[in-house]
Structure 1
Amino acid sequence: MNQVGRKNPAGVLTGVRRVFARRTLAQREAIAGYLLLLPFLGGLAVFRFYGFFYNVWLSFMDAGAFGAPKFTGLDNYRKLISDSQVWLSLGNTLKFAAIAVPGVVVVSLLLAVLMQYRFRGESVFRAIVFLPAVCLPTALILVFAWMFQTQYGVVNAAIQAIGGDPVSWLGSSAGVTTVVSLLVIYLSFSVPTIILYAGMQDISPDLYEAATLDGAGPINRFFTITLPLLSPSLFFVIITTAIGTLKLFDVVYVLVPPIDQSVSLNYAFTLVYYYFYVGFVTIGGRGYAAAISLFLLLIIMVVSGILLRMQRRLVHYGEDG
């Protein structure tokens, strides 16, 4: 048995070599490429495709923490339509997206323009711009939570120093919206800034020189040359930031702890947070949580579809003339 066990691997390797020997160089390279992709494709099939279709199946079930799921048809979706917490979470999610997405675009565009200029301390400025992308998000969220703390936060200390009253930043709707939106903008602007800066490098300097000779000032050149030719990069930043904000979870989870379902948590509840709460905190909500996640997928598809429709009118590609 030991001798047979030792000969089998050699026989298999010999067979593989014969198969490869009969192939052309292009065929051997293609086979090798597919073999190298197999681990990735296996992980994609198990953790993406299987997970998605299992989630769809689970949304039609009454699935608790114990026992086999029971088929309930569309009950989870009927419950979703009548659940006020779902619509509260959707409203908060869209509100954060409506503030954070334009904020990220404006901040990243401004910083990308500033990165075009050469000045003393330029390398330090670029390092500061990219800092949020390399820092731990949880650490930055905790820093913001300390800064906006009602009793000993530095923001309220500054307000009191100029004669104002302290603000309950995490105890009111406006306060939570302000802090969450600022935090999302700060965590999200670094990579879009690099993308927009790279897009600006592809714009020919000859266009700016010609516009300058025609008497166009810096602002005129920005709106007539930079923005139109940068629109593909801007569109990519907008759609990726919008999708990321609609999936907002970590900021709310760390910033507003779920203590006794406080009022502050209702101000910050997002759809992903509500999915987490129903699916992993409560008992017996896995099926309903799956329905909530598919509802979020529908929202993301609708928003993406609207943005893609707008692309035809707002995005300018140089080759289109």
Structure 2
Amino acid sequence: MSTTTSLRVPDAPPVLRRGKRRRSRRGALTGYLFLVPLLFGLAVFRFYGFGYNVWLSFTKAGAFGPARFIGLDNYVALISDSQLGVALVNTFRFVVVAVPAVVIVSLLCATLMQHRFRGESVFRAILFLPAVCLPTAIIFVFGWLFQTQYGLVNATIRSIGASPVSWLGSTTGVTVVVTLIVLYLSFSVPTIILYAGMQDIPTEFYEAATLDGAGPVRRFFKITLPLLGPSLFFVVLTTTISVLKLFDVVYLLLPPEQSTSVNFGMTVLYYYYQLAFVGIGQRGYAAAVSLVLFVLILVVSLVFFRLQRRFVHYGEDG
């Protein structure tokens, strides 16, 4: 008959326990010290800046001098502001046209990256090229291409006997040019995200569908798109928010001295810039306009997350 003897590990001496707790507190303090610059930046440039902007929207503040509290007058003036209405219509039009274009092109490019072909590495390098180029340079190049008198696009149109188009002199022309610029600047990163999402789809699904006689198109719509839901949701949401905040394309493409052309492409953020930094500097009213854009982005994001529960399915959903 064998006996089992249980060995009890003695507790650490109080001195060692205190030393361990001291080292743990020192490590935690060191971590918090590394976070101080980040927290300071968030406090100053995010929380304080947002709070100050909210307060400023209830004041009348010019380019110089102290702000004067006027209550809800700025928000009442927004209701009858026709220029804000133009900016909102233009912004929504860019969202409706540009976002689907970016998503569709990104999907096509990501699907092409799934296949092996000659020159594949060159194709991938060309796809990612817009992400590493200066947006300002790309916007100017597109502006020269679509220039009315000397642009390459109108030169091509003249060569086939047609009349040149004033691309930056109409709502349709500005929408086409802005959409092409946004598309070229924005499709690279979504392509990589969607391609990564496609890589996570198990190949067994495609093999089973092929055995059942499903063709490439049917496999794409019945397998790829449903399982790509989370990646597709992220791309659509971030692209929509990016277009809602569109500023640099309009600012560089449409010069302020051509007020008619600016109206064809004016966005909410560009209108805020004009109020706050151009002309008489209506900083209080501009702050109210910026909060309209904030509420707009917040509402759109909430709607997207609400729709996500119904249309986006994750792996753990079964």
Do both share a fold (TM > 0.5)? yes
In 1, the alpha carbon distance for the partners of 2:281 and 2:260 equals 24
Secondary structure (helix, strand or coil) at the match of 1:241 reads helix
Shift of 1:22: 6.3
Shift of 1:229: 0.5
Tell me by how many angstroms 1:32 deviates: 1.7
Is the 1:64–1:286 contact (alpha carbons within 8 Å) kept by the matching residues of 2?
yes
- Tell me which residue corresponds to 2:109: 111
Are positions 1:169 and 2:173 aligned together?
no
* Residue deviations 1:262-303 (CA, integer Å, cap 9, x gap): 211100100000000000012240000000000011111111
- Which one of 95, 99, 105 corresponds to residue 97 of structure 1? 95
23-32 vs 168-177, which moves further? 23-32
**In structure 1, how many angstroms separate the alpha carbons of the residues matched to 2:155 and 2:27?**
65
| AA at the equivalent of 2:127 | V
Normalization by structure 2: what TM-score? 0.92
Give the counterpart letter for 2:264 in structure 1: Y
- Where does residue 298 of structure 1 map in the other structure? 295
Q: Can you list the C-alpha shifts for 1:297-318, whole angstroms capped at 9, x where unaligned?
A: 1111111121111111211112
Equivalent in the alignment of 1:47 = 45
How much does 1:186 deviate? 1.0
Structure 2 equivalent of residue 279 of structure 1: 276
Against the structure 1 CA distance between its residues 316 and 147, is the aligned structure 2 distance closer, same or farther, given a 3 Å change threshold?
Answer: same
Give me the CA root mean square deviation: 1.3
Paired-residue identity, %:
68
1:27 CA drift (Å): 3.7
CA shift for structure 1 position 26: 4.3
Match of 2:235 among 234, 237, 261: 237
Partner of 2:313: 316
Give 1:39 deviation, angstroms. Answer: 0.3
**In the aligned structure 1, how far is the partner of 2:242 from the partner of 2:315?**
28
Larger Rg: 2
1:266 aligns with 2:278: no
Q: What secondary structure sits across from 1:23 in the alignment?
A: helix
Matches of 1:61 and 1:174 in 2, distance apart?
37
1:69-88 deviation digits (Å, cap 9, x = unpaired): 10000111111111100010
- Count of residues in Structure 1 that have an aligned counterpart in Structure 2: 301
CA deviations 1:175-213 (Å, max 9, x no partner) are 011101111111110100000000011011111111111
What pairs with 1:55-94 in structure 2 (closer than 5 Å)?
55-94=53-92
Partner of residue 158, structure 2: 160
Q: Aligned AA for 1:172? A: S
| Counterpart contact for 1:62–1:284, Cα < 8 Å | no
Which sits farther off after the overlay, 205-214 or 21-30?
Answer: 21-30
- On the 8 A contact 1:62/1:286 being kept in 2, the answer is yes
- For residues 26 and 315 of structure 1, what CA distance do their matches in structure 2 show? 43
Answer yes or no: is the 8 Å Cα contact 1:176–1:268 preserved in 2. Answer: yes
